[in-house]
Structure 1
Amino acid sequence: MTTKWMTTALMVVPMLLSNTACSTMKSTTNAVKESSLKGGVTPLSIERLYASPALAGTSPRGLKLSPDGKRVTYLAGRKDDQYFYDLWQMDVASGKQSILLDADKLTIGELSDEEKARRERQRIYGQGIMEYFWSDDSQALLIPASGVLYYFSVNDGTVKLLPTGEGFVTDARLSPKGNYVSFVRDQNLFVLDLKTENLTPMTTDGGGAIKNAMAEFVAQEEMDRMTGYWWSPDESAIAYTRIDESGVELVTRNEIYADGIKLTEQRYPYAGKNNVTIKLAVVTILDQKKSWIELGKEQDIYIPRVNWLPDSKRLSYQWQSRDQQTLDLRLVSLTQTDKSKTLVEERSDAWINLNSDLYFLKQQESFIWASERDGFNHLYLIGLDGKVKKQLTSGNWVVDEVELVDEKTGWIYFTGRKTLVTEKHLYRVPLAGGEIESISHRAGMHSPVFAENEAVYLDYFSSLSQPPQISLHGDQGQRLAWVEENKVDKSHPLYPFFGQWQLPEFGQVNAEDGQALQYRLFKPTNFSADKQYPVVVRVYGGPHAQLVVNSWSEHDYFTQYLLQQGFIVFQLDNRGSAHRGTQFEHVIYQHLGEAEVNDQKAGVDYLRTLLFVDGDNIALYGHSYGGYMALMGLFKAPDYFKAAISGAPVTDWALYDTHYTERYLGHPQKNTEGYEASSVLPYVKGYQSGLLMYHGMADDNVLFENSTKVYKALQDEGKLFQMIDYPGSKHSMRGEKVRTHLYRSLADFLERELK
């Protein structure tokens, strides 16, 4: 279960808290000390939350620096339609911004079902130009659009439709040196020579259950691997996966739309059932010669990552056991593909979290590797003999991601939570080891995008008091220019409402094992300490997610609406959630929905100590994993939660996929009791009243069946509840009309239940 919808409230898995172990801590986050912000005092309506222009102002996506460092490029939504994107540029020297390519110059048509599903798993939404790739010489761009490919010349502004043949093209990209374009069509891999326009199939046996160069469902949804092929740096070869889905259960899934029902056949790997059979090969560009990598005798495995070494003669792949307690980094030479050398062995009694922080160095026979072996995710320098040369970062905090390895200057730039767990900052550490330097300093969340070969970067920054800003920075963090300052002045879409925008108080309660649980508490507009207010606890709580952050999120718009209606909104990251280390996360292993619920109960225990909280009127609201948490909280702790809103919940873990579910619960045959205890269904009899459930009826992530099973169980028990189901909606409930109706319904429900 990916967590890119997470800022609303997805799934929760906290740890047990005792009622007497609560303590509070004043926030040290400077950005949220003000009680209000400058701006107008117009009330925020639900209809305005997701209407155009976007409340957050101009918030470009798809940020890139051209390889020559002369241009910043980005995708920007139109003023009259924030979800229709054109390609824009900023000249670095002058700071001048202009449209680089109007999407109207392309033919934007219907996507294939495969591409729709792929974009849903990438959490890419919108129309117009959604992806683009720079050529190595910075003179051209490759732009996929509606199953065809366009080649855009930056110098003369011409757009050329590339000859890709019949059929829908997906996962297209330029080769490393820009001489070829590769893509997948009809479940086979193709390469187009841009000079001769010769189109060559690299594979020919794709079709039916056989998919070449394509990521399987769980790789896309759970491993953050959206591709199934990788170019060698010198363009001589491509490594690719070949998957056989014939052993995976073929499910006929109903996608219910307003004007009919679409029957979709999908090979879905339910927990405990068969996965795909995966193979790894290398194919040469000149003669299409294939060499198969020997992966070992065990076939029931995952291949989550593949990386070439700089010499293009050696290939690495990560081998993961099905129980996800073993992860090996293996190295193979193209002259001996039947022999692999294991460079790194990671082991865990629970599970091993995947990351993408593997960087093979060009100037020495070593690589950078990220590992949680000491309990927190940190960086290591390891030789190609497998021996650790140096641990580069350490401490009771986590590295988020390596952003740039600059061998010329000897620095590694990375993001992490060294300053505060509620903020993400940019740091650097010497490649040879040494003191860590802080590069970013503004309180909030920093997501840098570096140039390919220089320590110059774009900083995508936001905080609770600042919608996303984009700025260009030098190697020591100095700001060189604004790309989008996005200042909330009188011309900004947010300005009329900003005077009533409420900032939270941060703090913590202690778990029964002494670990600190971070929370943030939003007080209502026009708050009075002499009154008592009902509370909405917004929850996700699942693995790989964090709600309690100093970050801007469009999902907080509904929070602001609730504050203006006189509600308190409270969020707590229970144990099991992200960025706190393995001790904090692994407590949920083999039993979901118990420790998490108890942690949320501890949050309520704290709330009930506050004189301005109406302790009898507290509701729990979450989506996805948060929807699961909402049901578990209401069913198991009705004395804590008067009402609950459950959106798109997993209710029976036997209905969810192998990679996510077995990571936390193990195999169903080995943990039957854990699966039963982690399901919502055994606790239906504990439900009393006050439930609203909603679900998208075309959800291909958390299948609609998860909700219908609870509907039937509640009906069989004669329990009264409410449900709203959305024809055609997927897991993320996209679309202005859908979201407007949804949030109007939720607000109405909360008014009736808590006031």
Structure 2
Amino acid sequence: MKHYTPLLLLFFLMTGLISAQQKQITLEDIWNGTFRTERMESLHSMANGQEYSVLDFNRESRSTSIDIYDYKTLSKVKTLVSSSDLSDIDFFTDYTFSDDESKVLLATQVESIFRRSTLGYYFVFDTATKSVTAISDDKIQEPTFSPDGTKVAYGLNNNLFIKDLKTGETTQFTSDGVDNKIINGITDWVYEEEFAFVRAFEWNATGDKIAFIRFDETKVPEFSMDLFGKDLYPTQDVFKYPKAGEANSDVSLHVFDLKQNKITEVTLDKSYSDFYIPRIKWTNEANVLSAQYTNRHQNELDLWMIDASAMTSKLVLTDKDQAYVDVTDNLTFLEDNSFIWTSEKDGYNHIYHYKKDGSLINQITNGNWEVTNYYGYDKKSKKIFYQSVENGSINRDVYSISLKGKNKTRLSDKEGTNSASFSANFTYFINTYSSATTPPLYTLNSAKSGKVLKTIIDNKDLKDQIAAYDISKKEFSTIKVNGNDLNMWMIKPSDFDPSKTYPLFMYQYSGPGSQSVANTWLSANDFWYEMLAEKGYIVACVDGRGTGLKGAAFKKATQKELGKFELEDQIQAAKQLGDLSYIDKERIGIWGWSFGGFMSSNAIFKGNDVFKMAIAVAPVTSWRFYDSIYTERYMTTPQENASGYDENSPINHVDKLKGDFLLVHGTADDNVHVQNSMQMIEALIQANKQFDWMIYPDKNHGIYGGNTRLHLYTKMTNFLDEKLGDKIK
């Protein structure tokens, strides 16, 4: 029996009292908005560089407004427009200024198509006359002002249109668009998902030409999904989806000349047999268009300059890699038409400066760390502003550096995740900072020194609210696994006792270039992990080989073998953690979503001697079922790499299942089709393996809407408690 002094006894009594007074996190708290952060919505720097605009929502009047604030004082200057003052618009959810800021596009009744694409009604608000003009009576896609703000181009029914705001006339300049056959100026499903853009048309600098990509989907196989709804008969959604090794859209690049009312197809001085056009962008020269082309394997990326008057082309830059080359969004043309480019060609993602002909001027940043965002170039100070992980791969900082690569300055000073939104003239930036212990903090900073000038939003109310809950610290560390120092976080119960043993529940995503171990504010999942820690679980996450921000070699180690080395790292990490005195190695579980579900499925099958249970949400079960652009980037085609596909696909290893397995999918998942789970369910049945599963009708890859997320996390928590937490406390 232990004996305590009166002082120690008092300490333990007080500790127990404080703990008892703290709230316990519930699933309802997580999904009803209790931990929602205050943010700056749709932040836009005004052209004068002295003011910025945000989208504000008035809960009392149920109206939205665009409000203008002064950078220096942070005081509100004026309300530019409020939906409460507009007879035609009850509510708008987004806005876009014309270049001269004389007009504003207002988005209303916007509905999602796929992950990034939407349809909506759009209106133009004239800031001088206060008048409102509808762009179209139909719901349209991607309306975009011409440079002078007198016209708006947009997509409708797979064709492209121009609305002249002066005359009110609308011109349709493509006419061959047909659903599931031809798309003009709007990306197809796989481009939208994997190249991350929807608008495939661009105005030139003088507004007399529009470049656009045309997609011929005729040969692309169709995928269909039943939508059950509430009617007597379900409906069906049919769309083109190229799976790995199947036919892609035939793409072509075109230029519409508004003055000549003529469309011309772009031809290049190079023959491509099977290729993608992942980016187009006009240079400062009105007749010179840049276009990035990549081969189907995506291991060679070409940058072309196209003279849209003479219709001649010149290849100015080629990036090659044994594995793949990431498309860059950072192409920036300077006044002399030299350009900024980012590349991993030295083994880490860095910023380069090239002459207009593609000859290298200099590498601006260098080192064994990654540039994670490029913010822009200030021609006055000749500085480039960017974000990087130089201060540790789980952190982000904001920097400036001269165009010559000199005088680098760290502009953020807090360890965690910093991101910046610069004023148009690069005088100020609004820094968004957070860490695992600090919710988003918005400050006004000097772009010259980084000095914090004012605090804008500090989320103090949220911090005070969270203080009432029993929150455990997320502990960051590294773990040596298979010869690599892997980033890891761990959450232990707040009353952790190293003399006890706890079940271990692991989370991972593990997809190429991803990061799950980051020093940033808590997501909904993190609050779930905190809730599980309150129950008596230890929760951990390890970023294994293939994840990002530690150099190209580490990221590309999984090439042609998705699911092999990533799985080896998760299994070995689980074994090493299981050897810790306070972890019960007989009670280790793992879960993941999407790529993470692919991994957790593999873990419970191939790692059946380590993992007692697993949860897989919306998993890929065979890469043969997934789309061409993503899968082939890392695996080449199934015809070329059959063993890489089949040996690492969980669907082929169901016979190894020993532990408890929960499989979850939404039936309207246009991304990772429910076919993946259905095929695995059948394989498990034929292998006579018992398992649990949950299907969410008409839910997409995100599995949300109404009570859906609450139901899903209740299901997962109950499964976890039953299968892994039976001996807790």
TM over 0.5: yes
1:68 is aligned to 2:48: yes
Structure 1 residues 467 and 493: alpha-carbon distance in aligned structure 2, compared to 1, 3 A threshold: closer
1:16 aligned partner: none
Structure 1 residues 243 and 160: alpha-carbon distance in aligned structure 2, compared to 1, 3 A threshold: same
Of the structure 1 ranges 100-109 and 614-623, higher mean CA displacement relative to structure 2 is found in: 100-109
1:409 aligned partner: 381
Structure 1 residues 541 and 257: alpha-carbon distance in aligned structure 2, compared to 1, 3 A threshold: farther
1:315 to 284, 289, 314: 289
2:504 to 535, 542, 548: 535
Secondary structure (helix, strand or coil) at the match of 2:226 reads strand
In structure 1, distance between residues paired with 2:281 and 2:139 = 27
1:433 is aligned to 2:402: no
Contact 1:257–1:698 (CA under 8 A) maintained in structure 2: no
In structure 1, distance between residues paired with 2:720 and 2:236 = 35
Of the structure 1 ranges 415-424 and 69-78, higher mean CA displacement relative to structure 2 is found in: 69-78
Write the deviation string for residues 524-582 of structure 1: whole angstroms up to 9, x where unpaired: 12222222111110110111310100111233121121111111110000110111111
Which letter maps to 1:668? P
In structure 1, distance between residues paired with 2:19 and 2:98 = 44
Structure 1 residues 493 and 181: alpha-carbon distance in aligned structure 2, compared to 1, 3 A threshold: farther
Contact 2:611–2:659 (CA under 8 A) maintained in structure 1: no
Write the deviation string for residues 125-177 of structure 1: whole angstroms up to 9, x where unpaired: xx964431012333432112232212234567x4614242x432111122233
1:353 is aligned to 2:326: yes
Which letter maps to 2:53? T
- Which blocks of at least 5 consecutive residues in structure 2 are unaligned? 1-17, 110-119
Alignment of 1:561-580 (within 5 A): 561-580=531-550
1:277 is aligned to 2:277: no
Contact 1:57–1:494 (CA under 8 A) maintained in structure 2: no
- Which blocks of at least 5 consecutive residues in structure 1 are unaligned? 1-36, 110-126
2:458 to 485, 508, 525: 485
In structure 1, distance between residues paired with 2:86 and 2:709 = 29
Contact 1:256–1:698 (CA under 8 A) maintained in structure 2: no
Contact 1:150–1:159 (CA under 8 A) maintained in structure 2: no
C-alpha deviation, 1:472, in angstroms: 2.5
Structure 1 residues 106 and 653: alpha-carbon distance in aligned structure 2, compared to 1, 3 A threshold: farther
2:211 to 239, 256, 265: 239
Which letter maps to 1:144? A
2:96 to 121, 125, 133: 133
1:95 is aligned to 2:67: no
C-alpha deviation, 1:79, in angstroms: 6.3
Greater Cα radius of gyration, structure 1 or 2: 2
Alignment of 1:330-409 (within 5 A): 330-337=304-311, 339-362=312-335, 364-409=336-381
Contact 2:342–2:349 (CA under 8 A) maintained in structure 1: yes
Write the deviation string for residues 58-104 of structure 1: whole angstroms up to 9, x where unpaired: 2233222222234433345676999x976555343542358765556
Which letter maps to 1:55? F
C-alpha deviation, 1:231, in angstroms: 1.3
In structure 2, distance between residues paired with 1:81 and 1:664 = 50
Which letter maps to 1:90? Y
1:50 to 26, 31, 38: 31
1:743 aligned partner: 713
C-alpha deviation, 1:523, in angstroms: 0.9
Structure 1 residues 735 and 258: alpha-carbon distance in aligned structure 2, compared to 1, 3 A threshold: same
Contact 1:689–1:719 (CA under 8 A) maintained in structure 2: no
In structure 2, distance between residues paired with 1:719 and 1:77 = 52
Contact 1:39–1:498 (CA under 8 A) maintained in structure 2: no
C-alpha deviation, 1:609, in angstroms: 3.1
2:22 to 41, 61, 66: 41
In structure 1, distance between residues paired with 2:508 and 2:235 = 32
1:298 to 272, 291, 302: 272
Contact 1:148–1:168 (CA under 8 A) maintained in structure 2: yes
Structure 1 residues 439 and 599: alpha-carbon distance in aligned structure 2, compared to 1, 3 A threshold: same
In structure 2, distance between residues paired with 1:724 and 1:356 = 39
In structure 1, distance between residues paired with 2:23 and 2:75 = 34
Structure 1 residues 437 and 92: alpha-carbon distance in aligned structure 2, compared to 1, 3 A threshold: closer
Secondary structure (helix, strand or coil) at the match of 1:718 reads coil
1:517 is aligned to 2:486: yes
Structure 1 residues 128 and 277: alpha-carbon distance in aligned structure 2, compared to 1, 3 A threshold: farther
1:22 aligned partner: none
In structure 2, distance between residues paired with 1:478 and 1:38 = 39
Structure 1 residues 697 and 107: alpha-carbon distance in aligned structure 2, compared to 1, 3 A threshold: farther
2:164 aligned partner: 193
C-alpha deviation, 1:207, in angstroms: 2.2
C-alpha deviation, 1:728, in angstroms: 1.9
1:419 is aligned to 2:400: no
Structure 1 residues 435 and 724: alpha-carbon distance in aligned structure 2, compared to 1, 3 A threshold: same
In structure 2, distance between residues paired with 1:485 and 1:134 = 28
Contact 2:49–2:427 (CA under 8 A) maintained in structure 1: no
Structure 1 residues 320 and 728: alpha-carbon distance in aligned structure 2, compared to 1, 3 A threshold: same
Which letter maps to 2:546? G
Structure 1 residues 429 and 583: alpha-carbon distance in aligned structure 2, compared to 1, 3 A threshold: same
Secondary structure (helix, strand or coil) at the match of 2:315 reads strand
1:211 aligned partner: 183
Structure 1 residues 386 and 581: alpha-carbon distance in aligned structure 2, compared to 1, 3 A threshold: same
1:622 to 583, 592, 602: 592
* Cα RMSD, aligned residues only: 2.6
C-alpha deviation, 1:506, in angstroms: 1.2
C-alpha deviation, 1:479, in angstroms: 2.5
Write the deviation string for residues 585-620 of structure 1: whole angstroms up to 9, x where unpaired: 111111111111111122212312322211211110
Contact 2:504–2:539 (CA under 8 A) maintained in structure 1: yes
**Number of residue pairs the alignment of both structures matches:** 692
In structure 2, distance between residues paired with 1:484 and 1:256 = 44
Contact 1:56–1:468 (CA under 8 A) maintained in structure 2: no
1:639 is aligned to 2:609: yes
Which letter maps to 1:261? P
In structure 2, distance between residues paired with 1:87 and 1:557 = 33
Contact 2:283–2:337 (CA under 8 A) maintained in structure 1: no
In structure 2, distance between residues paired with 1:743 and 1:78 = 31
Contact 1:258–1:728 (CA under 8 A) maintained in structure 2: no
In structure 2, distance between residues paired with 1:465 and 1:80 = 32
Contact 1:502–1:523 (CA under 8 A) maintained in structure 2: yes
Structure 1 residues 241 and 107: alpha-carbon distance in aligned structure 2, compared to 1, 3 A threshold: farther
